[in-house]
Amino acid sequence: MGLYKVPNVYYIGQTTAQTCWRACYEILLRHKGMDPQRAYNLPNAAQMATRGILDSEFPTCAAALGLGGIRYTYFQDIELLEHALRCWGPVWCSGFFFPNTQAKHIVVIGGVDVDDRKVLAFDPWRSFTGAQGKSVLWSFSYFADNLNPVPWACQLWY
Residue 122: phi and psi, rounded to 5, are -100, 95
What sections of 9-137 are H helices per DSSP?
20-31, 45-51, 58-65, 78-88, 125-128
Q: In angstroms, rounded to a whole number, what is the distance separating the alpha carbons of residues 61 and 77?
A: 26
pTM (2 d.p.): 0.96
Query: What confidence tens digit (pLDDT) does each residue in 12-62 have?
Result: 999 999 999 999 999 999 999 999 999 999 999 999 999 999 999 999 999
Cβ atoms of 12 and 2 closer than 8 Å: no
Closest CA to 7 of 37, 38, 32, 34: 32
| 4-156 under CATH 3.40.50.1000, yes or no | no
Spans of all domains in the chain: 4-156
Query: What confidence tens digit (pLDDT) does each residue in 72-110 have?
Result: 999 999 999 999 999 999 999 999 998 788 899 999 999
